[in-house]
Structure 1
Amino acid sequence: MSQTSNSSSRLSALLLAAMACAVSPAVVSAQSADSATAPGLPATPTPNATINLIRLMVERGLLPAADAAKLVEQAETEATQARAAITAAAQPAPVAPPPLEPDTVRVTYIPANVKRQMIEEIRSDVMAEAVAENWAAPRTFPEWVAKYKFFGDVRFRYEGDFYPDGGVPGGTIDFNRINTAAPVDYFSSTSTAQPPSYNADQTRERFRFRARLGSEIDLADNFTSGLRIATGESSSPVSQNQSFGASGGNFSKYALWLDRVFLKYEIQPKAGSSFSAIIGRTENPFFATSMIWSNDLGFDGLVLQGKRKVGENLTPFFTLGALPVFNTSLNFGTDSTASSGGGKAYASQDKWLYAAQTGVIWNINNDLTLKAAIALYEFQNVEGEVSAPIDATTLNTTSGFIGSTDSSRPGFAQKGNTYIALRELTNSTLPGAGNFQYFGLATPFRELAATARLDYNHFEPFQVSLIGEVVTNLAFNSGDIASNGPTQLPGPRNNNSFSGDYEGGNVGWNVNLQVGAVALQKAWDWTAGLGYRYVESDAVVDGFADSDFGGGGTNLQGYTVSGNLALSQNVWMGVRWMSANSIAGDTFKADVLQIDLNAKF
């Protein structure tokens, strides 16, 4: 018998002995009345014999109620333990599982919630190690690499240059070729040489390409910097085209140029508002068309830009620029043998562009947006200046001679602007005297321009845009041009009529209609355009104007038809046909066909 059963038997024996020693009937009668209300005792008989015996002893007055309650509690505890022991003894002993076959694999069942927790813990540990060792994500780079943004593009072009009948061969003088080489005795009474001129009658076909690669670097704290290199047959500021077979031919390698380099600081105090300061060589910061500034032109100097959103629909903006056009050579004039002081450096003739533009972007409604601006482009010292007197008889024998104003000639030019001779030559009529000349612009330039673009987006994703621009050179004076120049070669050297009257002008305008996708973002997106321009000889500086229309420059009028078709997100084709005729001077006609294949990355 178990220990619990023995304890219960001893308790019952003690209780029976107590009953044998019963006290007087009077005592029994007095205590029985309290038994019914004694706390901890059942009011009625229970299945437990021991508890019933305790209850009976209390009723007979043999046991105080308080002691009985303790005994009942002990009896219930011992009964519970006895039942548990009996239940455990009745359960069969566990049977060992049968032995496993040698190749058997035992898989322990894991609840789903436990598996999920284990997976998350393992993943966290692995990713932490991967990030620390920088091997888990192949497109993840060190932090410093993320600060660099690389970009580039390539373009392959067929270009056909056609010259309709009626053009005057030799009629359009190439002053740029004269000014970028040694002066030649073109205009003396004894010279038979003809000045170099632009092709006006022979068709030319060229296969060309352009490649550009750049990077912008995030310097933190609102600073960025940028670099870009580009191709180009020369240092021309208005073209990055390289013709296959040019630059020496025979599969010679092609040159690369530093095309952009800048440092920029920009803040954006709130949405739609910003201010930036840029120093270096940057993209065109002005809202303008290629009639004034070629699309490939970069600007040197300091530029300030800002815009601020006013209300829901208006965003005024401004651009200011101080841009060096030419810087005088440190030793300019020191190798001259001029009688005015050989070996003495000449005064500087630095050239600058000071520009200011202000405008507004107006969201008229959901379909119409207007962007309009007015700008003043003030050029300093770009016009030619007549030199101090030079003895013409010394020019045949003196090597490396430099006139006091030779650097006032343009460092680069296209065609169209009016020119004057620069050197004031004495004794030019004597036997053996030469008339070796350079040429400079006949007028100063202070260009006032108004530019506007109206976008209509009712037919999204297609857009219809009307772009217009008008410019006038406020510094132009035809009377001053007629009297300008050296004594022996006064007045303008080009843009004259057959009778010798000056025909140049100072006004330019153009208008373009464009339809199609806002941007070529996916295959089969397309755009089409039709434009007309009229640019008189001295409306703008020809060296900075469009280099494609009419072969580049000013003194041109005509139309342009264009179209573009996307072949993928980053590859597209383009076609342009440009037909131009001269306005003043000898007749010049040029038609240009361009077929492009472009890619960007």
Structure 2
Amino acid sequence: MNTPQQLYPFPPHSVNSLMNQSTASDRRATRGSHTRARRPAAQAACSRPGLRAIAAAVASIVGLLGAVPAQAQSAAPNESAMVRLIRGLIQSGALTKDVGEALLAQAQTEALAAQQAQRQAATAAAAATAGAAGGALRPEAGDVRVPYIPETVRDQIRDEIKGQVMAQAKSEGWAAPNETPQWTKRIRIEGDMRVRNESRFYSDGNSNIEVDWAAINRGSGYDVNGNTNLSLPNTINTRENRKNVFRARARLGIYADLSDRTEVGVRLATGSDESPVSTTQTLGGGLGKKNVWLDQAYLAHKPLDWLTVVGGRFGNPFFSSDTLFSSDLNFDGLAVKAERPFAANPDVSLFGSLGLIPLEYSSDSFPGTSQDKARSHNKWLIGAQIGSNWKVNEDNRLRGAVAYYDFRNISGKVSQPCALYAGADHCSTDWSRPAFMQKGNTLMLLRNISLDPLDPANTKMPQYVGLASKFQLLDLNFRWDTKVAGGYGLRLDANYIRNLAYDADEMWTRSGGGIVNNFGGTGGTGRSDFKSGANAYMMQVTFGKPAPVARGDWNLLAGYKRIEPDALPDAYNDSSFHLGGTNAKGYYVGGSYAIDKNTWFTGRWMSTKEVYGTPFSVDMLQVEFNARF
């Protein structure tokens, strides 16, 4: 004989009120042997994963409805409520056709059995009424007792079962025909837009001979022989103001979470050229269309909750200031990032990063006009950083880090003698000139050009330049976030950089005396006139919200920088301060105000000048309208 749990396979808590009104003997009398005979068919119909709960719920409702006495129900319709329910589930797609038809057959059979039970109950009631005159009713052998189930109890049971079934259907993704496809929930789109008005103001006392060394390296070289070349090299503007230049930046990224541990990202950005340190596009240009560049393309995976490995082209993996790395700079290669709190004190955590960054690969076909190709000369950045976050209390947080950056093989090298006069179109170390440079680093001539023995005085000597110093940087960063003046945010940032590989004497020896810049104001170009340095530092104070997000957020900031010529490579830092590069010092002030959600104005004033060498001062005003989404 079936037990109560077999007849009612749904959770016990949903039928407590029913169980309190009916005894086990009542339920056994109501069901009879036909329930036991058809139970295996229901189980077979519900063998598919995820549908057992529906089958159980349907069978339970059928059983309950079958137990209701005839006087508590209206005249039996052609189709029971359960049959109509199952048909509705099939039509809505919540049940597949094969499973639905199996459950439909069972429900119809159960309905017929329920009608038979009702007739038996009605017969018993009529017999009891006929014998009422003879005395009180007494149960006789074979009588069937049918309990009454209130309407409220049946509604409660129905609602609970419906809720359980729909919850399972949504969690397993098989019952919401209008639901958004699951893959779209794993993809997000992010971006930002900036429109800037920029004005540059130059001092009238600036030197008017500032060589554009980057332009020389991009071309065919500059002939340094005064007998064959009387023209000046390319120079940059140092005296004529540039006002109200409109510029824009737009970035759009698509990011996909392949799983809880794996992510891919692709971002496009504007830019006037292929500069790695700026994605700002100068407007105008005859209203011509603007360029779009591949800004990021990476794949990231988390083998552990606290460890991330990322490869491709990705954002800065190090905690640093724009004194060393521009905020627009992205890195190529491979990086490993980790962050993990202390088990004993969750308010303190350690973080670290390792990076293997290819800066430049020499050409596979260099030299192009020779049958004998040069060996590979690749340039690398190997970086390592370790730091800590400390939540001192609700109002104070500290963050500090120490990093070491080894820039491998980026220094210039003097070539083997090369006979350009005899038709050669290259020298052996042309590859060592930087692929990208701003200004400020000490530079040296690269080519050892052989003189034409027939006319040595008139031998053309087109030269390229390379970095005279080596670069192995110690980078210290510190940040303190606190609250003052009744809860306003205050952030203090400090950064110190030291080039541990700087050695002025070695630079002169390696270049063979071919240093071409960073001399004092005396006009001399000897060793005693050379001026450079290996240190850089930055200090900044930000009052208010560091990053405006909500309407009404604001901040004010002020800072000071000093970057000596060979403290760091001039190719990768902020392109606005002193127009980029090194050999610069000065202050800057600014502020931001959010006029709407993720929409804010920013104003910034910078006043800078050279650290050593000929005079070069420039002030800059930037007014920006920013938005992110």
TM-score interval for Structure 1 and Structure 2 normalised by the shorter chain = 0.7 to 0.9
In terms of fraction of residues, the more helix-rich structure is: 2
Encode CA deviations 1:341-400: one digit per residue, 9 max, x unaligned: x43212222100111111111222332211111111001110001111022534xx66xx
The answer on whether the counterparts of 2:225 and 2:459 sit within 8 Å (CA) in structure 1 is no
Cα 1:553–1:521 shift into 2, 3 Å: same
Give the match for residue 302 of structure 1.
334
Encode CA deviations 1:229-286: one digit per residue, 9 max, x unaligned: 11111110000011111xxx222111111111111111554xxxx1111111111111
Encode CA deviations 1:524-563: one digit per residue, 9 max, x unaligned: 1001100000000010100001111011111000001010
Cα 1:193–1:363 shift into 2, 3 Å: same
Find 1:437's aligned residue among 463, 479, 486: 463
Structure 1 position 427 matched with structure 2 position 455: no
Find 1:184's aligned residue among 222, 225, 230: 222
CA drift of 1:152 comes to: 0.7
Cα 1:124–1:368 shift into 2, 3 Å: closer
Find 1:478's aligned residue among 482, 485, 504: 504
CA drift of 1:522 comes to: 1.2
CA drift of 1:183 comes to: 1.4
Find 1:409's aligned residue among 416, 433, 456: 433
The answer on whether the counterparts of 2:206 and 2:238 sit within 8 Å (CA) in structure 1 is yes
Distance between the aligned counterparts of 1:79 and 1:240, measured in 2?
99
The answer on whether the counterparts of 2:420 and 2:426 sit within 8 Å (CA) in structure 1 is no
What are the within-5 Å matches in structure 2 for residues 79-228 of structure 1? 80-81=132-133, 136=178, 140-170=179-209, 172-205=210-243, 206-220=245-259, 222-228=261-267
Structure 2: which amino acid aligns with 1:157?
A: R
Structure 1 position 456 matched with structure 2 position 482: yes
CA drift of 1:445 comes to: 0.5
Distance between the aligned counterparts of 1:455 and 1:177, measured in 2?
43
Cα 1:81–1:301 shift into 2, 3 Å: same
Give the match for residue 498 of structure 1.
521
Structure 2: which amino acid aligns with 1:305?
A: K
The answer on whether the counterparts of 2:413 and 2:510 sit within 8 Å (CA) in structure 1 is no
The answer on whether the counterparts of 1:484 and 1:492 sit within 8 Å (CA) in structure 2 is no
Cα 1:243–1:82 shift into 2, 3 Å: same
Structure 1: which amino acid aligns with 2:531?
A: E
CA drift of 1:118 comes to: 7.9
Find 1:255's aligned residue among 285, 291, 298: 291
Matched position secondary structure for 1:542:
coil
Cα 1:81–1:151 shift into 2, 3 Å: same
CA drift of 1:404 comes to: 0.9
Cα 1:129–1:441 shift into 2, 3 Å: closer
Higher mean Cα deviation, 385-394 or 158-167?
Answer: 385-394
Encode CA deviations 1:289-313: one digit per residue, 9 max, x unaligned: 0000011000111111112211323
Distance between the aligned counterparts of 2:165 and 2:561, measured in 1?
67
Give the match for residue 354 of structure 2.
320
Cα 1:127–1:318 shift into 2, 3 Å: closer
Distance between the aligned counterparts of 1:112 and 1:539, measured in 2?
81
What is the root-mean-square deviation of aligned Cα atoms in Å? 2.7
Give the match for residue 8 of structure 1.
none
Distance between the aligned counterparts of 2:499 and 2:364, measured in 1?
32
CA drift of 1:498 comes to: 3.0
The answer on whether the counterparts of 1:505 and 1:536 sit within 8 Å (CA) in structure 2 is yes
The answer on whether the counterparts of 1:210 and 1:230 sit within 8 Å (CA) in structure 2 is yes
CA drift of 1:165 comes to: 2.4
Distance between the aligned counterparts of 1:265 and 1:79, measured in 2?
83
Structure 2: which amino acid aligns with 1:143?
A: Q
Distance between the aligned counterparts of 2:134 and 2:509, measured in 1?
135
* Aligned sequence identity (%): 33
Task: In structure 2, list runs of 5 or more residues that go unmatched.
Answer: 1-128, 137-149
Matched position secondary structure for 1:425:
coil
Give the match for residue 17 of structure 2.
none
Distance between the aligned counterparts of 1:227 and 1:210, measured in 2?
17
Structure 1: which amino acid aligns with 2:498?
A: T
Find 2:397's aligned residue among 354, 360, 369: 369
Cα 1:595–1:237 shift into 2, 3 Å: same
The answer on whether the counterparts of 1:495 and 1:503 sit within 8 Å (CA) in structure 2 is yes
TM (normalized to structure 1)? 0.74
Matched residues, number:
477
CA drift of 1:431 comes to: 4.2
The answer on whether the counterparts of 2:491 and 2:546 sit within 8 Å (CA) in structure 1 is no
The answer on whether the counterparts of 2:414 and 2:511 sit within 8 Å (CA) in structure 1 is yes
Structure 1 position 544 matched with structure 2 position 583: no
Distance between the aligned counterparts of 2:287 and 2:401, measured in 1?
47
Find 1:569's aligned residue among 581, 591, 597: 597
Give the match for residue 357 of structure 1.
385
TM (normalized to structure 2)? 0.71
Give the match for residue 89 of structure 2.
none
Structure 1 residue ranges, 4+ long, deviating more than 6 angstroms after superposition: 110-131
Distance between the aligned counterparts of 1:122 and 1:491, measured in 2?
85
Distance between the aligned counterparts of 1:507 and 1:185, measured in 2?
33
Distance between the aligned counterparts of 1:236 and 1:467, measured in 2?
27
Give the match for residue 465 of structure 1.
491
Distance between the aligned counterparts of 2:376 and 2:584, measured in 1?
34
Distance between the aligned counterparts of 1:78 and 1:318, measured in 2?
92
Distance between the aligned counterparts of 1:478 and 1:153, measured in 2?
44
The answer on whether the counterparts of 1:188 and 1:435 sit within 8 Å (CA) in structure 2 is no
Encode CA deviations 1:11-58: one digit per residue, 9 max, x unaligned: xxxxxxxxxxxxxxxxxxxxxxxxxxxxxxxxxxxxxxxxxxxxxxxx
Structure 1 position 528 matched with structure 2 position 535: no
Matched position secondary structure for 2:180:
coil
Structure 2: which amino acid aligns with 1:402?
A: H
Cα 1:389–1:144 shift into 2, 3 Å: same
Give the match for residue 103 of structure 1.
none
Structure 2: which amino acid aligns with 1:167?
A: N
The answer on whether the counterparts of 1:393 and 1:430 sit within 8 Å (CA) in structure 2 is no
Give the match for residue 244 of structure 1.
283
Matched position secondary structure for 1:308:
strand
CA drift of 1:518 comes to: 4.6
Cα 1:373–1:78 shift into 2, 3 Å: closer
CA drift of 1:132 comes to: 5.7
Structure 2: which amino acid aligns with 1:457?
A: K
Matched position secondary structure for 2:222:
coil
CA drift of 1:462 comes to: 2.6
CA drift of 1:473 comes to: 0.7
Structure 2: which amino acid aligns with 1:443?
A: S
Distance between the aligned counterparts of 1:377 and 1:440, measured in 2?
20
Structure 1: which amino acid aligns with 2:327?
A: N
CA drift of 1:517 comes to: 1.7
Find 1:291's aligned residue among 320, 323, 327: 323
CA drift of 1:566 comes to: 0.5
